[in-house]
Amino acid sequence: MLKNKIQSGFSLIELMVVIAILGVVTAVAIPSYKGYVSSARLTEAKNNIAALKIAEEEYFLENNAYFYNNTSNTDLASASGGLWSAQAGDGGVNFNYTVTGSGNSYTITATGTGKAAGLNDSYNKN
């Protein structure tokens, strides 16, 4: 009598198909993830710009003028009289913020640094 051998396991073809499917899923997932990360960093910039706008208006109400800086985040803390600081809301972790202008207009610019390099946002009040 012949005994039937029962084989268990996967064939090479089956393993290659699974690896190919994983490769396709990875090729689609990685760019999407990078897009989500960039979007989150830009949201951080928009939130800090909004906080700077509020600080500008508060400063204007108290001093009848807007504050400006042209160098760094820490300069903004002193220029605003403490109404905004680089530590508030993690400002300055991924972006450097500058406020430029004159008279009753100003521009707030967020310039990406480190992993956010190349991402920029700005607000202009005329």
Domain ranges within the chain, ordered by starting residue: 16-125
What is the Cα–Cα distance from 107 to 114, expressed in whole angstroms?
Answer: 23
pLDDT tens track, the chain, 126 positions: 566 777 778 899 999 999 999 999 999 999 999 999 999 999 989 998 998 899 899 989 998 888 887 655 656 777 787 777 655 444 457 888 888 888 889 999 999 988 888 999 999 998
Q: Are 52 and 97 in contact (CB under 8 A)?
A: yes
* Amino acid type, 125: K
Q: Where are the beta strands (DSSP E) in the chain?
A: 95-102, 105-112, 120-125
Q: What is the largest CA-CA distance in the chain?
A: 104
